[in-house]
Structures are given as C-alpha cells and as structure tokens.
Amino acid sequence: MQAVSSLSADRATRYRELGPMFAALFHGEPDLVANLANAAALLREALPQASWTGFYLFKDGGLVLGPFQGKVACVRIALGRGVCGTAAAERRTIIVPDVEAFPGHIACDAGSRSEIVVPILAGGRLLAVIDVDSYEPAAFDEEDARTLEAVAAQIAALDWD
Ligand code: SME
C-alpha cells in the first residue's frame, strides 16, 4: 500500500491519487468495519480542511454512527433530519457552505461551520453516507463532491452483506 504521507500537497493531484489509494487500502480485506475505519482516516488526511470525517450507516430505517475521525458525534440520525438524514433520504450529495443557514442542521460540534454529505448507494439501495465537517466556512465545493462521490462508489463495491 502506498504510504498516506505521500499524498500530494496540490489538491487536484491529491484527489486524483485517492482512487488508487482507496483501491490499495481495500484490496484483499473483506472486513467492512476495518475498511471504513481506514477510509475515515485517509479522508481526514486527504481533506486538511476537515474537522471530522466519517460514516453514518443505514440500519433499520435510520442512520447510525460508523467509523470516523474527529470528536465524539451524534449516534443516531433519522432519515430526513439534518444534513446527513436529508442527503440519505434524497440520495444526493449536499454541500452546506454555512451550517447555520441549513434548516435542521444537527450540531454535534458547535465549532462546525460547513459540511458535505455524500450518499453511498448500491444501485438504488442506500448503504450509508460519508459526512465531512469543517471549522472553516464554505470549505467544500464541487470538486470535493465529485471526489467524494467517486470514493462512495468504491466503498459501495465493498462487501456490505
Ligand atoms: N451535522 C450533521 C450531523 C453529524 S455530525 O456533523 C458528525 C447533520 O446535520 O446531519
């Protein structure tokens, strides 16, 4: 596996490196929790503007906290609630440049200023969401969205059953 410390400083280059890096990380390892734990860590390395990177898993009709990097977070989020629950319910990426302007935003960490949530889908089936928060306002853009959507597709291809 390529060392994480070899991630490039330039964002566009670094984001291009992520696909092969995630593939190498997951290669030959069937354990989902182990893979998601390492994925949360690699995302934290790759997105230096992030204060929190992690997963909420879709279980029994709601979202439950999964592997993450950052401060202690809310454990359960109902579909349709907050940024995570909205992205999950609508099965689409949501970029929130100002969390205070997002109706129903769930403040797990009062320091959070912006957020991006990307659903992990297998066909139409909702598996989880990737959640990334930042202490900086407007920390995420379309390039982050496209990059995290590609990561979500790689994670969707793991063994979820
Ligand atoms: N802010 C999220 C909740 C999850 S924490 O940020 C880790 C939301 O509104 O869904």
pLDDT digits (tens, 9 = 90+) for 23-52: 999 999 999 999 999 999 999 999 999 999
Q: What's the mean pLDDT when you consider all of the chain?
A: 94
**Confidence band for 1, pLDDT divided at 50, 70 and 90:** low
Please give the Cα distance from 21 to 78 (Å, whole number). 32
- In this predicted model, which residue has the larger pLDDT, 131 or 5? 131
| CA distance readout (Å), 91 to 8, 10, 15, 37, 40 | 31, 30, 23, 23, 20
For atom 5 of ligand 1, the residue with the nearest CA is 108
Looking up tokens 């129903």 gives 104
**What's the average model confidence in pLDDT over 51-59?**
98
Are 27 and 7 spatial neighbours (Cβ–Cβ below 8 Å)? no
Half-sphere exposure of 132 (CA within 13 A, CB side): 33
CA distance 40 to 21: 13
User: Residues 132-159: pLDDT tens digits?
Assistant: 999 999 999 999 999 999 999 999 999 9
The CA 99 to ligand 1 mean position distance, Å, reads 9
Confidence check: pLDDT of 17 > 60? yes
Q: How high is the pLDDT of residue 2?
A: 47
Report phi then psi at 23, rounded to 5: -60, -45
Give residue limits of the domains in the chain.
Answer: 4-156
Q: What is the third-level CATH fold of 4-156?
A: Beta-Lactamase (3.30.450)
pLDDT digits 0-9 by tens, 66-116: 999 999 999 999 999 999 999 999 999 999 999 999 988 999 899 999 999
Task: Pick the closest to residue 56 from 118, 144, 124, 112 (CA basis).
Answer: 118
Where helices occur in the chain by DSSP H, the ranges are 11-26, 32-46, 82-90, 142-156
Q: Judge whether residue 5 has pLDDT over 70.
A: no
Pocket-forming residues, ligand 1, beta carbon under 6 Å: 52, 73-74, 77, 82-85, 105-106, 108, 112, 115, 131, 133
Q: How confident is the model at residue 7 (pLDDT cuts 50, 70, 90)?
A: confident
